Structures are given as structure tokens and as C-alpha cells.
Structure 1
Amino acid sequence: MTATTDASRTAADERLRRWRMVLGGESADGTGHPLSGQDAAMDGALTALYGGAESGPKQNGRGGRNTDRSAGLGASAPSVARWLGDIRTYFPSSVVQVMQRDAIERLGLAALLLEPEMLDAVEADVHLVGTLLSLNKAMPETTKETARAVVRKVVEDLEKRLATRTRATLTGALDRSARVNRPRHHDIDWDRTIRANLKNYLPEQGTIVPERLIGYGRASRSVKKEVVLCIDQSGSMAASVVYASVFGAVLASMRSIQTRLVVFDTAVVDLTDQLDDPVDVLFGTQLGGGTDINRALAYCQSQITRPADTVVVLISDLYEGGIRDEMLKRVAAMKASGVQFVTLLALSDEGAPAYDREHAAALAALGAPAFACTPDLFPEVMAAAIEKRPLPIPDAG
């Protein structure tokens, strides 16, 4: 047997192995390739959640969402905890998080997350935090501390990822928006003044005529802008609530920004006094329920003291359960007073959810276009709002 033949057989075996892993089921599924060792363990973990190929149409493959497929993951905490441990052993973190979400969705395992041993076993991410927050009111006392620890880990990871860039981006925007063109002598920004007046260079005198002076503005410790985060806490907005709470805490840590955080469904709750700890903010929310955007905006409007220096960020899918015309009139009034109004359909990595397109179009007609925003883009959106320049709206395509 030649080396070429051996290589061809190895490649063929590997193709059969991969098809076997994709299809699931017994070796009689047509590949004729039995599994052993880690492959068998991975196949068992996948079959427990998604079922084998014989449980549903083969063309769906392992990841199909066919509800007719049987799954073997028992609904008891010990078996689920073992399964969670297995998938963390055999799959990368990104795959583990997808499988956990599928297990909660497909097999109704949300109630088991109320048990501390389950929370110790799961891979924590934004979606798990959203699930825990939706279960908050039903959570027994023995579980709450474990749940808070899980939420805190996710929040701290997000802060590490987002805080430095957010502060740097917004500090630059605040400095630029604060510069004045008639500064006192000791407030002149000579570097920018020289660059702005290079066209006025007089070579015979070897000097620049500074027709335009650029200054630093007032002391950076003073409050320059007010930001109001108005967050829809309906169930579909769970990831947005998590990210907005983290950003709220980051903004509140900046002395030059006065930050207010308001959450709403049919009622309005001001969580500003908890902004020093985003975990407290998150456990102060109640995911689910109806939506009254008009009532929430009425409250936010009542808190604005310096409209020309205020940015209001509405984060909502715009399914209004309140008075639509009043909501639109309120947005128009805020904009007319000088408020920079930003509408985000979502603040998450998943893109735009289902949303009310009629309301989005009406807001766009008022100069407040609604769009989905990723956490990485959010600092740029806020910087643009602070500087009163066009928002960096991502391409819908």
C-alpha cells in the first residue's frame, strides 16, 4: 500500500468522522464510522440536547431547531450539572454559551437555574444574566448570592472590556465640545491654534498671524454634559439592559458627565442612586411586562435642567403601549429645546430585534433615527451626540 493510498484513506476516514459527528445517532446512520473516546463523549453531549439524526429530518443536521427531535437531557439538577460540566470540557466557550441558551430555550431549564449548584456549573455570559434577571422575583434566598456572583463576574468582564475606551473617547469629545474661540491668554491651546492658522503664515516675517484662537475651555472637573439613559426593560431587551447598566456605571464615574439611569415598562423607576454598582442596577430591574415609552420620556423630560447640554438615549424596540402621539410630541419638544436625542433599538451584539417600524420612521422624521448599536460602537455614538455632529449610524445592510 502506497503512502498516497494511506493518506487518501485517512482523509476519507476524517470526512466520515465529521459527518458522523454532524448527523449524530448510531453508526448505522450510513457513515459506518463508530465513535470512541472524546468523540463519543462530545456526541453524547450533543445528542442529549439536540437528539440524534433519527429523531428528525437529517437535512436539519445537528444544530436544527426542529421541535420534533427528541433530546435526552433529563430535567434534574444533577444530570444537567454533569452535562454542563461535559460541554465545558469538550467545547470552546463560545459554543458552550450557544448550547446553554439552546438548552434553556428548547428544554425549559430556566427553573433549574434557581438552584445554586446549577449556577456554579454554567458558563456566564450576557444572555445568562438576562435569564437570571427575569427569574429574580422567583429566586429563593439560598440562590440569590450565587446569582449575584454570576452577574458580577459578567459585569466586571464587560467593564474591563468597555470602560477604558469609553472614557477616552468621551473625554476627547467633551474637551472638543468645551473649546472656545475667544479664550483668555492662559487658556489658549497653542498647538491647535497654530495648526488652524498655518494658512496665515508670513514667510518674510517668519511668523503666523493668529486670526483664530482656540482655547481649552473651562476646567475639566466641572460638569459639561448631562446624559439620561432611558431603558426599556421588557423581556426582549435583556441584553440591552445589561450593557446599558454597565455603560451607565462607566459614565457615572466621569466627573464631567452627570448621568441618570431610568428603566421602564408600564411604570418608571429611577436607578440613578445605584449607578456606583451596576449589579445593584440590574437587580433593580424587572424584565418583562408592558411598555409605556411616553410615561418614561415624560419623567426624563422633567429631570432635564440644561437642555442644550443634555443627551437623552432611549433604548427600546419602540412597541409603545402608551400614547403614541404624545410620545412623538415629547421627543419633538425635547429636540426643539436643544436636547440631543438618540434612539437605539438595541444595545447588544445581536443587531436589531423585532421593532415597531412605524414608530422608528416617525422618530426619524423628527431627526432622531432609530438604529441598533453594538457595545463597541456606543462610545462613538455618545461622542457624536456630545459634539452635536451626525451620529455614526451603521449600514443597515
Structure 2
Amino acid sequence: MSTPAPGRVPDDTRLRRWRLVLGSAADPALGELTGAEDNAVDKALGALYDSPSGAGRSGSDRAGSLSGSAPRVARWLGDIRTYFPSTVVEVMQRDAVERLDLTSLLLEPELMEAVEPDVHLVGTLLSLNGVIPEHTKATARMVVSKVVKQIEERIASRTVAAVSGALNRATRTSRPKPRDIDFDRTIRKNLANYLPEQRTIIAERLVGYGRRAQAVHRDVILAIDQSGSMASSVVYSSVFGAVLASMRSLRTSLVVFDTEIVDLTEKLADPVDVLFGTQLGGGTYINRAIAYCQTLITRPADSVFFLISDLYEGGVREEMLRRINAMKEAGVQVVVLLALSDDGAPSYDRENAAALAALGVPAFACTPDRFPELLAEALDRGDLRHWGAEPR
């Protein structure tokens, strides 16, 4: 093939583009798509512009159909953000809302009552937040509120119990006042001093809790990646953030980021407000987000920093690693979660995860049910490396 003139698109590129535009209705002369990415792009286009049976395809007029399944729609939204620039994503989302059945599925109250809202559906609604008509946002908020309430019922009490236990252990004293004695632990510590003839235990060592109920014991910073693949993690993290913010013994900050950074700490009283303050999609500058979070840390030895991200960095990778290492060296307990969801093994940047592990900062996925346990261990400043690199 001859070299194309300057400024002219190569013939094979033009054929590839026409094949993607026309879909499977394309003339065989255009050839077949090769490579996983081209096929993924074609699949994403087909989900929006092709009918499942293939009927109605003629020329470039791809007839639209997309399943009403919320998880499938959520995956599709994640795919188009992966393979198309943000301006094209915006057009495709509007096409999905206007051309297909998404509006009636997601925004009509009578149909919404027949659909069981779940975290995937919330992620989809948040992804479409920018194109949802104003008069339908109340319906969207109703759905998000229902899911948030379900998540809170699932995790709130366990989280509060785990955090309280960890902080109580941190403030335990061996010289407690009488009203602060932990009798159960005191007895256990002094079993060797049992006097059978007296049927009593000599409490040579008392165990109790310090009375600092109103003090802030730990600072917790949650930095959440807003990229499309992290939708479920954004939902769960926001609810956890609200639960933690309700505890006076913690100072909780919540930051969401893509290429921009938004501090949503002031909205933590209402996790629904937090979620509608996010904007799923876009690029990912983890380094910039970490730089901002460093400004929030005033007590490194009493701080826990959670970075919740798939680690696909669009910024300066080396600087990101240096900042995380600097946090760790300063005494901050750094935890990197590749996902905080029930979705199974996540896709993530394995090179960056390995680099973090080399710094002594393991990266792993965590289910919401296990997060209270993880949080307690982090507040106890435990060694988290045994959690491994797979979902827990």
C-alpha cells in the first residue's frame, strides 16, 4: 500500500471507520474488524444503534435497541466512556435516553415501582445525571434514596460497632478510674492471680478505657475515583462516608475526582446529596487528587487515607507513587482499594498495584460487608498486607 499524502487518512483507517459506522450491515468488502478494542467499540455502538435481531439495518441507519437491564446499561455506559471521548459520550448518552427505552425504565414512577432498585441502577442514574430532564430528577432522587437506605441498613450498625471497638482499644488505659474499668478484660488479664481458697482474683492489672468520648481520635480521608468503572464503589463509599461522618470520634473527609477534584465533605450529612454531587465518567488524575488530600492531613500518625481507584492513572504516575510513599513515611495509614463493591474481581492497573505493594501499600478489592472489619484494622494501625490483592 502506498504512503498516503500528508493530511490524508490512510485507506485502511477509512475502511475501519466505515465498518464501525455501518455495523454488521456493512459490505463485506470493508473487511472484518480485528483486535479486541475494535470489536468492543463495535459492540458498544451496536448496543445503541443495532436491533438485536439484525432487522432494520440498512446502510448507515442502524436501528436502535438496548436491553432495559440496569446492570447491562451500567456496563454499556462504562464501555462508551472507555472507548470514546467525553463529547461523543455525551451525544451517545442523550441518544440512549431519547431513542431507546431508558427514559421510561429509569424515570417513570409507575415503571420504577416494578423495578427493584440496586446499586447498579443508582450508578446508571448518576452517569446520566447531566442529561436527565429537570422534571424527572425527583424520581431519580427517590430511587437513589431507596438504595442508600438499604445500604445504610446493611452496613451502618456494623461499621459503628467496628469503629467504636477500634477506637476504644486505642484509648484503653491501665490506670482507669473506677467508673472506667473494663471488668471483662480486667478479669481475663488477671486469671493467673486466682486464689482458690478465697474464690477470688487479685486484680494486679486494671484495664479500662480513657474518657475522651468527645475527642476526635482519628482523621479518615476517602478519595474516590469517579471513572465509569467505579460506579458501584462511588455509591458504597459515599454511604460509608456519611456513616463515619456521623461519629464524633472521627473527622471524615470525602473527595471525589476524575480530572477535576470535588470536596464533598460538607454534604456528608446526606449521602444522597453526596451522590448527586458526583459526575461519573471522564479521565482520571489520581496524583492531583492525592496532592489535594495531603492538604487535609494535619495529624499523620492519627490519619487513615483510603484511595478507592482502579489505578488507571492519566496523570503523572511517578509523582503519584512518590506522594503515596511520602504519606506512608509521614505516618499515615494508607489503604488502596481497587473496588468497594460486590461486583467480584475488578479490572485494575496491575503495574501500579505492584508498585504500591513494593512500597508496602497493598492494593486489594473489598466487599461492603468486609469493609467495617478492614476499617477497624486500619484504625488499629494493623498490617493490612495479609488482605492480599483479590476481593475480600
Counterpart amino acid of residue 111 in structure 1: V
Largest Rg, 1 or 2: 1
1:164 to 2:157 alignment: yes
In structure 2, list runs of 5 or more residues that go unmatched: 1-42, 57-63, 81-91
Q: CA deviation at 1:378?
A: 0.7
Q: CA deviation at 1:199?
A: 1.8
Contact 1:231 1:262 in 2 (8 A): yes
Q: CA deviation at 1:205?
A: 5.9
Bigger drift between 212-221 and 301-310 goes to 212-221
Post-superposition Cα deviations, 1:140-164, rounded to whole Å, max 9, x if no partner, equal 2122222111211211121122212
Label 1:125 to 1:258 Cα distance change in 2 as closer, same or farther (>3 A).
Answer: same
Q: In the alignment, which of 302, 310, 321 is matched to residue 309 of structure 1?
A: 302
1: distance between equivalents of 2:76 and 2:306?
34
Corresponding position of 1:70: 52
Contact 1:227 1:258 in 2 (8 A): yes
Corresponding position of 1:181: 174
Label 1:102 to 1:70 Cα distance change in 2 as closer, same or farther (>3 A).
Answer: farther
Post-superposition Cα deviations, 1:1-49, rounded to whole Å, max 9, x if no partner, equal xxxxxxxxxxxxxxxxxxxxxxxxxxxxxxxxxxxxxxxxxxxxxxxxx
Q: In the alignment, which of 259, 265, 287 is matched to residue 258 of structure 2?
A: 265
Look up the SS of the partner of 2:220 in the other structure.
Answer: strand
2: distance between equivalents of 1:137 and 1:129?
14
Counterpart amino acid of residue 103 in structure 2: E
2: distance between equivalents of 1:236 and 1:200?
58
Q: In the alignment, which of 76, 97, 101 is matched to residue 111 of structure 1?
A: 97
Q: In the alignment, which of 220, 240, 244 is matched to residue 251 of structure 1?
A: 244
Counterpart amino acid of residue 308 in structure 1: A
In structure 1, list runs of 5 or more residues that go unmatched: 1-64, 85-95
Counterpart amino acid of residue 339 in structure 1: V
Q: In the alignment, which of 122, 131, 147 is matched to residue 154 of structure 1?
A: 147
2: distance between equivalents of 1:345 and 1:381?
14
Q: CA RMSD in A?
A: 3.2
Label 1:99 to 1:333 Cα distance change in 2 as closer, same or farther (>3 A).
Answer: closer
The total of aligned residue pairs comes to 317
Post-superposition Cα deviations, 1:154-182, rounded to whole Å, max 9, x if no partner, equal 11121122212221222222212221233
Percentage identity across aligned positions?
Answer: 61
Bigger drift between 207-216 and 152-161 goes to 207-216
Counterpart amino acid of residue 396 in structure 1: E
Corresponding position of 1:134: 127
Counterpart amino acid of residue 217 in structure 1: G
Look up the SS of the partner of 1:159 in the other structure.
Answer: helix
Counterpart amino acid of residue 97 in structure 2: A
Q: CA deviation at 1:251?
A: 0.9
Post-superposition Cα deviations, 1:362-394, rounded to whole Å, max 9, x if no partner, equal 111222100011111111110110111233626
Contact 2:162 2:373 in 1 (8 A): yes
Post-superposition Cα deviations, 1:61-82, rounded to whole Å, max 9, x if no partner, equal xxxx9979834999xxxx999x
Look up the SS of the partner of 1:137 in the other structure.
Answer: coil
Contact 1:115 1:143 in 2 (8 A): no
1: distance between equivalents of 2:249 and 2:238?
19
Contact 2:364 2:389 in 1 (8 A): no
Contact 1:348 1:375 in 2 (8 A): yes
2: distance between equivalents of 1:260 and 1:118?
31
1: distance between equivalents of 2:360 and 2:378?
13
Q: CA deviation at 1:302?
A: 0.9
- Give the TM-score, by structure 1 length: 0.71
Bigger drift between 175-184 and 152-161 goes to 175-184
